[in-house]
Structure 1
């Protein structure tokens, strides 16, 4: 198993370096992009269940997600984005455009090491309030925290606050609303729609309830664009000027976008897909990143935050015609891969596979750095060491 070592850095160039408090509190956060279970991944889970004899109702997502467990499980707080509502364990299940996915994925997310998830997305309302309630009930059963959608108006006013190494950390989530399945006016409370005033009010409630750190998940931007949109950039600026949010985690584009420090606050505009299998894979939609953030208490009562990342890739088997055999060394199963670890320990992988991993590592790094973060902001790939 790999252990993770986060090396902290000073804040962005031009700003004074915060004085870290001797003996002060600290904690790490791992966050990733969309968990989007397409039908091909359900088929893979069924195939894996036959091999492992594990899972529930003939589905086992464990082997698919095992590659990121060594990183996710090491974080003091791990945050996922659950893109879609879940159905019943035996189905029926649906893919795009109105998703309904196996609840078994939630058990796997918990086993991988995730503590809490954002649930606000343009697919939250794909099957209405009943599916929202079923999803949150299933997350409770799996032991996963959640924020961004609600079963009742009273729950909508609650704040997801967790004790992380003695620090009260709040997690908020907001999304743009689907035009295909908009939330009815009389049930708006069930879904957190992106609105600066709403974000400000939620942060205020979190602080009043004792939150010392506030992390915000945003489902925003344009699909398949590796650069944040103008509305994203404008909202980022407003968040830094009008709130005290300490970290912003983005998703929805299904491809990696930059990590950047804006007015002293880290923004991961989009971490791509954690796991997905689009009907027309582009190469970019299989590439993602785990953001790794270390918070250290400073002498002025604030937090020094450093940022690292881990490139990931969803391996996809080749599509074969009936009777056709896969090339030697080809991918056999859908798997989420920790790219850096795969390159460190190739274990007989074909040169073609290794070339694909190198491309994912280099391209992901390029997109993440695209707004200047490797300068004074100090964004770097997370160091991995073997036990």
Structure 2
């Protein structure tokens, strides 16, 4: 792997990958069209409460902000990197549904605020996560309608089982495509009854047996893959906190690469970044971490620094899907906005990344732009 160069290498695809994007609750309240703030949590009764917590921590937050506000410095950073595709996990229902699932924490954003996704140039999202059906089947269907109307591709959930399981095939300027397949694993907190059925809306659940999961991914990708395509499997798996590596997740990631021909495994669910591995030249993100959330004023997990987040810019060889470079963009969330990390915050992230990624033979260095670059040790 080489560092990110000023000019793109020939025959490569540059992707921006983000983790969980939660634009509901407090975030929704500061956007131009806030929805009903009513919550069904024991901790906070109204979404305005999360705005108040953040303001207590870092000062006043403006209201009716432009849609680009929450993305902050990320927008300029991406503009300079000329990515072919921008892909994130949208962990928020986009709906006015009032049918809250009885699960305690329910995320929703008003549909009129959906252009916040377009403001960041998001091309595709996965909805295979444990919040997509927070507001019932009606909330899921409305989410699909609203997001697709923006021209943003959706993967991992659908109006029927075949729709939820189908990969998205997104064209690239070089004539190739990115094939994206998404799953939600039950160990991330997804109820089993949220799974899509042949004629029923829902999520594309990850098969419980690894053999079945690998066979499913291989079957869905191999007949669609063409020369020059890059294949990505996105999985919402595991818990929200902790750096421990689930050995089953690692074995599955390796098998997806070895047996299903997957080029990128995009894992998420943890509220903080986790280890990164390069396996047989292919990229594995075990936990991309949150990118956008309203947790700014919540206490109790300070040791994980969930206020510090990363964006991932991966350059992939179109000829064989091998990773050519990986740049990590460091930010802190302040007043519900992504701000470039301060030196001491970058130092904390650097130490964490070196510790977690070093276990997989990677070295983390900071480049002249203040971002992190991963290379083999």
TM-score computed with the length of structure 1 as normaliser: 0.72
Counterparts of 2:33 and 2:109, CA distance in 1? 16
Gaps of 5+ in 1: 9-22, 49-56, 317-332, 344-353
| 1:151/1:59 CA distance change after superposition, 3 Å | farther
Matched residue, 2:275: 258
Query: Match for 2:331 among 306, 313, 326?
Result: 313
Equivalence for 1:215 = 232
Alignment correspondent of 2:40? none
Does the alignment pair 1:194 with 2:206?
yes
Q: Deviations over 1:235-257 (max 9, x none)?
A: 22322332100011111011110
Alignment match, 2:75: 69
Q: CA deviation at 1:293?
A: 1.1
Counterpart in the other structure of 2:31: 45
Q: 1:137 aligns with which of 141, 145, 165?
A: 145
> What whole-Å deviation, never above 9, does each CA across 1:89-143 have from its counterpart, x for those lacking one?
9x99999612222335542222212211111001222222221111111111222
SS at 1:384 equivalent? coil
State how 1:260-279 maps to structure 2 within 5 Å. 260-278=277-295, 279=298
> What RMSD in Å do the two structures reach over aligned CA positions?
3.4
- The whole-number CA distance in structure 2 between the counterparts of 1:184 and 1:156 is 9
CA distance in 1, matches of 2:195, 2:161: 14
> Which string of whole-angstrom CA distances, capped at 9 and with x for unpartnered residues, describes residues 46-85 of structure 1?
599xxxxxxxx95644211122112334311111110121
Q: Would you say 1:36 and 2:51 are equivalent positions?
A: no
**Is 1:183 matched with 2:194?**
yes
Give the whole-Å Cα distance in 2 for the aligned partners of 1:215 and 1:201. Answer: 14
Distance 1:124 1:220 in 2: 14
1:168 and 2:168 are equivalent in the alignment: no
Give 1 or 2 for the bigger CA radius of gyration. 1
Pair 1:218–1:100, CA change in 2 (3 A): same
Which residue is equivalent to 1:371?
359
State how far apart, in whole Å, the 2-side matches of 1:92 and 1:205 are: 33
Partner of 1:324: none
SS in 1 for 2:30: helix
Question: Helix, strand or coil: the match of 2:14?
Answer: strand
Taking structure 1 as reference, are residues 245 and 188 closer, same or farther at Cα in structure 2, changes over 3 Å only? farther
2:163 counterpart (151, 155, 162): 155
State the Cα deviation string for residues 154-193 of structure 1 (Å, max 9, x = none): 5235330011121121011111133557326856763111
